[in-house]
Structure 1
Amino acid sequence: MIIRPLRADDKNQWQALYDGYHRFYDRPDLPQDFFDTVFARLMAVDPQDFHALVAESDGDLLGLTHYVFHPHMWFPEGVCYLQDLFTADRTRGKGVGRALIEGVYAEADKAGRPRVYWLTQEHNYAGRMLYDRVGVKSPFIRYNRPL
């Protein structure tokens, strides 16, 4: 397995994984233009926008992660937000998620922004078991504006 940046020829496999990610979080049946727009943003390689890494084995994408660097008032160098992390069902528990997180850690270190954070839902117990091993749980509670 290798961790590498997303490429243009990954679109179909990436979309299947990203669709699985959204279904996991109860966002099924997203329109094709949603996926096209997100993929185009990732392919634009805008330093101010999201970046993507994938886990690949013999041409098969096993998982994905999307992350973005952004300014932070407390840390002048900025921070890295790992927004999306997803692995194919068949690869769960085989180190793919850990390798993707470590890939983001490496990219953040290269960018001089070693602080990496992410969010997950409380009920994501399998993910949280991994996160407890590769990160430190924050004491913060998130609130959202009601829409």
Structure 2
Amino acid sequence: MIIRRAMPADTAAILHLIRALATYEREPDAVRTDEAALHDTLFAADARVSAHVAESEGEIVGIAVWFLNYSTWTGRPGIYLEDLFVTEVARGTGAGKALFRALAQEAVANGYTRIDWAVLDWNQPAKDFYQAIGGRRQTTWEPWRIDGAALQELAR
């Protein structure tokens, strides 16, 4: 399994997985972007959204799409994970944890203080996964976060 920053040539595969995620989340018709818009979002000179991919045997089997947020409490940026998705055949291979580890490494290397994300209330497998890697449930909206010792541990 190779985890790396997405490259422009990955755009079609990333879009494919975004659509697969929408189907998994019971919103198969919700994706409105197209390949050109996604390419611009991720790879324009002023891009503010980033992605990592998990690649197995030359095929992209997972994505983590993220951007920076900011905490007035810490006075530092953090990562907001917009989408994490691993194909069904690649689940259980460590791809999801490896993608999270790459984000933790990104955060630690750049002085970011946390990773935040949201999870659908019915998605117990995702909640179990996030808890297993050190994430913790927030309240009301169920945003999740890795920070402090858990962020450091994941980055190792």
TM-score by length of 1: 0.86
Describe how 1:1-147 pairs up with structure 2 within 5 A: 1-30=1-30, 33-44=33-44, 46=46, 49-142=48-141
CA deviation after TM superposition for structure 1 residue 54, in Å: 0.2
Counterpart residue type for residue 23 of structure 1: T
Counterpart residue type for residue 53 of structure 2: V
Unaligned runs of 5+ in 2: 143-156
CA deviation after TM superposition for structure 1 residue 139, in Å: 3.4
8 Å CA contact retained: 1:105, 1:114: no
Counterpart secondary structure, 2:122: coil
- In structure 1, what is the Cα distance between the partners aligned to 2:130 and 2:31? 31
TM-score by length of 2: 0.81
- In structure 1, what is the Cα distance between the partners aligned to 2:140 and 2:114? 18
8 Å CA contact retained: 1:52, 1:65: yes
**Identity percentage over the alignment?**
27
CA deviation after TM superposition for structure 1 residue 4, in Å: 0.4
* Alignment: residue pair count: 142
More strand by share: 2
Counterpart secondary structure, 1:78: strand
Do the aligned partners of residues 119 and 87 (structure 1) sit closer, same or farther apart at CA in structure 2, a change above 3 Å counting? same
**Which deviates the most, 72-81 or 25-34?**
25-34
- In structure 2, what is the Cα distance between the partners aligned to 1:101 and 1:31? 23
- In structure 2, what is the Cα distance between the partners aligned to 1:73 and 1:117? 14
